[in-house]
Every structure is written in C-alpha cells, then in structure tokens.
Structure 1
Amino acid sequence: MASHSHQPHDNAHDEPFVAELLDLEAEVLHAHLTELTGWLAELTADRPVRRVLDLGSGTGTGTFALLRRFEDAEAIAVDASPRLLHHLQGRARELGVADRVRTVEADLDAAWPDFGGVDLVWASGALHHMSDPDRALREAHAALAPGGLLAAIEMADVPYFLPDDLGIGRPGLEARCRAALADRHAEALPHRGADWGPLLSRAGFAIEAERPFTIELPRPLPEATGRYARAMLGRMRTALDGRLSAEDMSVLDALLDGDGPHSVLHRDDLVVRTERTVWAARSQA
C-alpha cells in the first residue's frame, strides 16, 4: 500500500526518492498491511484469489503484502513508471516471488490493457490521482471476474510524526505544515478525500464494506521510523517551499538535518499516527 499514488509521478528525477519513501512506508506500516490483507482474506473466503491486480503499484507494497496473504495467487503490478516497476521486479527476486509477479507499464488515465478477469483489484492511494475516476472505476469493474473484489484504500492525510512541542521553538509546526499541504492538495488533487462509495456504485460495484483504520503504532517503533519520518517530512518541505514562514522552514530544516542534534533520525519522541479508509466493493455481472 502506498500513501502516494504513482499514477502519474511528479517527475522522473523524483522517482528514486519516491521508491525509498514507499519501501520505508511498507516496512514501518507492516502490521497494518497484515491486518488489512487479513480482512480482505475474510471477505474473499468464499472464492479463491488466484489473480491480483495492483493499480499504481509503485515499489510493490500492495503487491507483496497480497502475495504473502494469498499464497496461491499471482499479481499484475501496474504503474506508469518503468523505473519503479524495475525496482519492484528487483524486490520480487529478492523475496523469491518473481515467478508470481507480472509488471505492466501503463497510464491508467489512457486506455487500459486487457487484464483478463482478476479476482482482486487493489487501489491504494491511486484513485484520487486519476483525471477521470469514474472511467477508471468502470475499467476496474471490467477487469474483475464476476463476484471479484475491489479494495480502494485512501488515507486521510500524511502520517503524524512530531510532538507539538519540539523543544526548538515553533510549537504546532506539523499542524501548520499539514494545513498548508491540504491547501496545495485541494488545488492539485480535487478528488483527494472523496467519498468513493457513490462512485463505486455508479461504476457498477456493490459496496460490501466501508472500514476506517486508525493506525497508531505502539512503542517500540519500527527501526525505520526515523528514516520514514525524514523522507516524508522532506517531501513535505519540497511541496511547501514558499508556503511556510521562514521560521517554520528553518525548524523543518533542523529536523531534516541528518547530523544535527534535532534530527528526526535521533529523536525518541516520534509517533506514527494516521487514518485510512478502505472501501471493499464487489463486481456484479
């Protein structure tokens, strides 16, 4: 799962950073992915999952979580980025599942390839990036075998990492960053935060469940948490250049300085807290 769609990407130069961020997210949120795929296994218990389609697959967070859960399944990982698909193929070899993964480079805002009747479609953080989500959902419905399941996963926002009082001034920094980022997303991603239920119904799906997930990791946090926070906050800083005060930018830079005394890499007061909503929808003949 990714909290970021990879359909399309901001630019090709950003992709190595995106790959690192997505791999860190998969590591830190491993327990949530296990819980989520377990729930999907319950919803599909009456029919075997043999073929999985991961839309906007990125580095394969969803692909590999689903292959771990559904041990007899094969996956089709679809992304617009050849670089990220190459990264995914390398990870598949490392994990010993290369023979169960097929990658497809495709722009999901254009005509879709024929995926030929899959049992489960996974769309994590992808739908709000589509220029025409209604059309994308109709294509997803057509890709599913009758009775197949689509899981649409959307997060409320980027995770919380920081305490309100950072000990270096500018209390409430993260709240201001998130508000500014929400303004930017409202301009660039009008479908972010949408209620996907009506759109799924309009595309021919029967809504089976809508489930919120509140993720708040217990201590001790995963080893990769500091690196994940740094990658996410660094991406946020790039997005907010010119939208935050110089004072806030200065504190953010101190948090991102890997060798600095206030770096998120060395703090013991980080948290990982986020919310996601999952719509499970059944295709109808």
Structure 2
Amino acid sequence: MYIYCVNLEDLSHTIEKAIEQVRYIRESQQEHSQLESIRNDLAIAGEIQQTILPRLFPPFPELAEYVDIYASMTPARDVGGDFYDFFRIDDENIGLVIADVSGKGVPAALFMAVSRTLLRATALRGVPSSECLTYANKLLCKESLDSMFVTVFYGIYNYKTGIMDYTNAGHNPPYILRQNHHIETLPLTPNFIVGVFDDISFENGMLKLETGDTLLMYTDGVTEAFNEEREQFSENRLQNALKTLPENPQTKDVVTEILRQVKNFSGNYPQSDDITLLSLQRTE
C-alpha cells in the first residue's frame, strides 16, 4: 500500500499559475480582437478619405480642349495627411490645391479633412488666392490642435488665357515643364505655413502657361523618399526624372512616371511619408 503525500502549498501555487495563464490568454485574445477592430476601422477610414479626393479623370471632359489634369495620393499609413483638390470656380477658372498636414495618422487625417473643407468653401467664393488663404488661415488657427499646421499651394487657373493666380504657403515650389522641354521652378512667395498665426496675410504670384506647358505640384513625400542606403530621392533626382519624360507628355504619364521612379529608387525600404502629385497641362 502506497501513501501519496500532497504538498498543499505547491498545489496552490500551481493552481494560481494556471489561473494567471488562463487570464493572460483571455486578455491577449481581447487585445487581439480590439486591435483587429482598430485595424478594420482604420482601413475603412482610409477608404473614406480616398473617396473625398477627386478620383475621376479627366475631371472636366467638357474642358478637354483647354486643360488636362491628373493626380495621385499614396498614404504612408492607413490614413494620410496629404490632400489635393480641384474644382470649377466659374465659367473660366479652375481652383487647384495641394497640401501637406503636419504629423501622421488619424490626427493628421482629421485636420486634413477640416483643411480641405475650409479651403474649398472659401475658394468657391471666387476670391483671389492670397485672400482665400488669409481667410482660411484664420479659421484653421481656431481648429488647430496640438500645434498642427498645413503647407498649401493654391492656384486659380484661367483655362482660356493660361494665367494662374497662385499663393504658396510654405509648400514645395511646383515645376513647370515647358513645351520645349525646359524645366522651371516656380518662384517662392514669402508666405508662412497655414494654421499657426491668425494675424498674417499672404502674398500671391502670377504665372502663365503656354499651349503644351505642364505644371507639376507635389508634396515632400516625393523628394524625401528613402532607399535602403538611407539616401533621399531629392530635388535633383526629381528634376532628372522630369528630364527623362518624352516631349509633350500627358499629365497622367508625368505622375505615373514620377511614382515609378520613386518606387524603383526606394526598393524595399518602407514608405515613411504620404506621396502626392497633381499635374495640370494647358492643351489649347
């Protein structure tokens, strides 16, 4: 006859560990479910954000003889802070916006939506570009959270004359691809970013596109894209990419070729910032 002696203290510790493991597994499952729910919500938010950007090209078929427009926004995360926009203001003018909100993720995406709404609503009043940004800046300063700001390039393009009234508020200066394949950088206007100081005014500039000329607007996600050697794509590479374009390229060809070269340059290095391009060409 064998007599087994059970150490009650050891048994108690064993049961407590088992209970802790069960609790840990349950909490991990709950956290996993919550994480999946957040991922799903972010994916839906990203889809919604993409739908508020103009996605139909050409956007103004009735103006095909005057103007060609194409744009693309590739977020670095599920949701982004970059945005572009274009819209008819009146019978002769089109408004074009490209902007980059500071920060990343959900806060940037929310501020992006607010910025786009205020800029479009103000622009549709038909005021000059500098007046539009001055007024929108006052409104955005009231809505800005955690010192968020936005760089903006806003242009009012008269598709009959080829003249654009533009205001650049701290954004990357666009390029002009002339019909003779000459590349120009649009001169900077002495303006501050939007959403920081509500008592400033903005100054505008003027440019003229001749038939066949193309204006390329972009965000710093293009020039600051990294490769595996931690090199940036840079302004020089962007200019060289523009020089490789064929003569008289369509706006879609310009945007897709730049995106292709940025992707080839970056390789497997993860995208760290939103990449946005907007191109306009005077066709007549």
Q: Is TM more than 0.5 here? A: no
| Structure 1 length-normalised TM | 0.29
